[in-house]
């Protein structure tokens, strides 16, 4: 599904009725979801975040801009933040199945409509700029609303893809920097935060924390979490939730108001497919597995074994990183722990994917076959579903080889006190490989495509042999180490 994020900034942060009148236009647009409304008293500015398909987002943005022009009197507006109109900026951000070029086209289409139908002057900046001198937003805002027209180019600072302005807030007795990141991948949030801390210390000041206005991409916080764990000489190969917790604490994101990842991270606001099985408790999953229904079954169990193998390998790596006597292995095991976390998440996803694929195949077999057309549709549905039911465990088998390589690595280089855990990682990886292989074999006969059957069979046999060989090697290594104890 095509999804675009829009983050317009309106020059009103005090009058709640006016803010609500603007956001009502967004909420009333079909297909659009309003995610966040963040008004600022001292800046007299509100940052709004919403998402939806490109066409719906464009419509909502147009309606909001029109309402803002109607209710906001720029002749009487005063605030600490630079601004150039009732709607100061209206950026589009690609989220799903949409590129930055698509967002540029969206911006140009919106600007053309705003100018033509509302009679409001429009400027394009950053990626959407039509002239080089208009790319820098600070240059466009020079002189602000009262100084239109006029452009001045400001001297660039240490970072690119970033705009910043500072002011003193009497109500709180603190100074504040307002920073706009236009590309967190080039200019990471944590790098800027640390530089602000360094500069503040040079002035005898202390940075107490930070506040996120609007929403943030998950990867920006994950990168910050990895960065700060690495600075602490800890392994960044931990679950996403721990990386986010580390980022929030290190950036002081809860200094002013509590930071809620469910509300402030973009991806958490987008509807996700329900993960029925991995959302269960251990007891619930085991009970569900034990029932007389064919799914979940061996395929889901094999995927779970893969996730357990990855978790144990990550655990051993994390128990080694930072421990004296293992310094030479730290770098290698940090990478191993990070990769193990990704494999863990992928295998957990396959727990539900395997059951969903089986259910889809059963649904295909139940399709009517009263006519030639129905028979043809049923056969095609069965063929497609059978392939999917085969490819899910095939992916688990493929990943099990890497899982076992990781288990071998932590068995070789990891903390000796955790060698038994590395051994269990190897055994769980073996179970994942063998279990996935069985599920491939049982699904293949229902597929008429001989070329597909032959190719998958050969690859599966090869992968299983590699996996079992690795598992045997790990077992010998672990037995050897245990005999020394």
The answer to whether 474 and 404 have CB atoms below 8 angstroms apart is yes
352 token code pair: 């539900």
Phi, psi (deg, nearest 5) at residue 46:
-125, 130
Helix (H, G, I), strand (E, B) or coil at 29: coil
Strand partners, 333: none
Given CA atoms 99, 105, 111, 113 in this order, what sign does their dihedral have?
A: negative
Count Cα atoms within 13 angstroms, Cβ side, for 421.
Answer: 19
* CA–CA dist 147, 149 (Å, integer): 6
Tokens of 366: 């139940």
177 Rama class: left (phi>0) / alpha (psi -120 to 50) / beta: beta
Query: 185 is written with which tokens?
Result: 């991948």
Catalytic residues: 81, 354
Place of tokens 């139908």: 117
Alpha-helical runs (H) found in 79-217? 100-113, 137-141, 189-202
Bridge partners for 176 per DSSP: 167
Can you spell out the DSSP letters for 255-322?
A: SSS---HHHHBHHHHS-----TTTTS-HHHHHHHHHSSSSSS-HHHHHHHHHHHHHHHHHHHHHHHTT
On whether the CB atoms of residues 381 and 364 are closer than 8 A, the answer is yes
| Conformational region of residue 60, where left means phi above 0, alpha means psi within -120 to 50, and beta covers everything else | alpha
Written as six digits, the tokens of 464 are 């299983």
β-pairing, 33-40 with 92-96?
Answer: unpaired
Residue in the structure block whose two tokens are 């990704």? 342
Which SS3 state, helix, strand or coil, does residue 107 take? helix
Nearest residue to 309 via CA among 434, 469, 473, 432: 432
- For residue 399, the surrounding DSSP H or E stretch is helix 372-413
Residues 83 and 40 sit within 8 Å (Cβ to Cβ)? no
């Amino acid at each position: 599904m095509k999804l675009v994020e829009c983050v317009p900034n309106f020059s009103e942060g005090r009058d709640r009725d006016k803010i609500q009148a603007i956001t009502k236009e967004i909420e009333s647009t079909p297909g659009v979801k309003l995610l966040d409304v963040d008004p600022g008293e001292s800046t007299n500015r509100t940052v709004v975040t919403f998402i939806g398909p490109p066409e719906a987002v464009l419509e909502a943005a147009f309606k909001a801009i029109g309402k803002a022009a109607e209710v906001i009197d720029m002749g009487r507006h005063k605030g600490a933040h630079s601004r150039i109109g009732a709607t100061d900026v209206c950026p589009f951000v690609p989220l799903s199945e949409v590129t930055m070029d698509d967002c540029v086209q969206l911006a140009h289409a919106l600007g053309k409509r705003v100018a033509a139908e509302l009679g409001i002057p429009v400027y394009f900046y950053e990626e959407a700029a039509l002239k080089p001198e208009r790319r820098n937003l600070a240059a466009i805002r020079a002189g602000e609303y009262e100084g239109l027209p006029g452009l001045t180019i400001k001297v660039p600072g240490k970072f690119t893809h970033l705009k910043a302005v500072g002011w003193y807030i009497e109500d709180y007795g603190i100074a504040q920097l307002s920073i706009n990141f236009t590309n967190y991948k080039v200019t990471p949030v944590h790098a800027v935060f640390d530089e602000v801390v360094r500069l503040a210390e040079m002035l005898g000041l202390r940075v107490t924390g930070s506040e996120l206005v609007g929403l943030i991409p998950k990867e920006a916080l994950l990168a910050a979490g990895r960065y700060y764990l690495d600075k602490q000489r800890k392994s960044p190969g931990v679950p996403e939730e721990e990386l986010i917790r580390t980022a929030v604490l290190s950036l002081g994101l809860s200094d002013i108001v509590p930071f809620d990842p469910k509300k402030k991270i973009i991806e958490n606001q987008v509807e996700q497919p329900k993960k029925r099985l991995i959302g269960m408790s251990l007891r619930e999953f085991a009970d569900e597995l034990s029932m007389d229904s064919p799914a979940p079954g061996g395929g889901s169990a094999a995927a779970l074994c893969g996730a357990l193998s990855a978790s144990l390998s990550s655990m051993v790596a994390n128990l080694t990183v930072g421990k004296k006597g293992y310094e030479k292995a730290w770098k290698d095991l940090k990478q191993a722990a990070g990769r193990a976390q990704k494999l863990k998440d992928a295998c957990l996803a396959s727990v539900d994917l395997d059951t969903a694929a089986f259910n889809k195949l059963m649904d295909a077999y139940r399709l009517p076959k009263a006519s030639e057309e129905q028979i043809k549709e049923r056969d095609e549905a069965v063929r497609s579903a059978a392939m999917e039911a085969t490819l899910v465990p095939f992916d688990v088998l493929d990943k099990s080889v890497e899982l076992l390589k990781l288990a071998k690595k932590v068995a070789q280089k990891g903390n000796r006190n955790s060698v038994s855990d590395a051994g269990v990682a190897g055994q769980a990886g073996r179970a994942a490989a063998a279990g996935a292989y069985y599920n491939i074999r049982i699904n293949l006969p229902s597929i008429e495509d001989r070329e597909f059957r032959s190719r998958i069979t050969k690859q599966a046999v090869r992968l299983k042999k590699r996996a079992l060989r690795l598992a045997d090697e790990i077992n010998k290594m672990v037995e050897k180490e245990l005999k020394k104890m």
